[in-house]
Chains A and B, each alone.
Chain A
């Protein structure tokens, strides 16, 4: 019974998250940095904490922090990382000694 519940949750969440923007971010971060372990630990911690917060807030996290502000904020973070990566690729083109 417990195992069934565990398995059902696992499969549901796994399928929901695969190919999500989160995983895209993880792929991007781990392929452009040399520290896959750091990316793995960081993203796992973030996902677990976000899940825990969601569970504790009982689905009302959107009432505490309006969803649009979260989207704006994370959008800005993505923009910053994107610009960062673009300038990094420019730098890599100019000194490809690696």
Chain B
């Protein structure tokens, strides 16, 4: 029985580790300025935790087999109530490991969340509602027009869905779309809002996730670094259509972005 436990615990350990190393399932390719640092922290954590995992499981398997009751052939047990030096040693070791990991990661967190977007960033407002995402661009005046809950009509889509006050001059040139267009290599200043319940804007490739909370306007920034189409998933349970609250980010060159925005403006006239 001891040998069976050893074999199974080791097998589970090695199979799990094999899939972590071979990684057929892994973080999707990172395409934002933040991705590299986040992935580095992830890899570092997983190597550190992986070593502890393999060591602890192997020791467990080994001990139950090695110290199995062999009847009269067994040595008498080591009558010991513990070892204070050892306790202090592994307390300090784990404390250093865990606090160290934490401090390493907090630099990245600070860069992502403490600093506001730069003044030249492109402002985009993201609005989540059951079960769609809308994206608003301020247009040539650089100002978002007013919105009002009283004007919100989700069934009419885009501008009406987010309750855009068309009477407000600043709203005249606002562009509202169902797909997020972003220029590559330019910082984007996102404002996240929600109309009804909590949603979460999750763009796996960009290592971006942030809840959109009713009553709050949450500012985040993000810099896409690669042209392409990337999927958005909702990551906060928002009702029966949660699994299909899906969207797209199209990252294009600044030139294509300007053309696209100009075409949308032209449609409005």
Q: Do A and B bind each other?
A: no
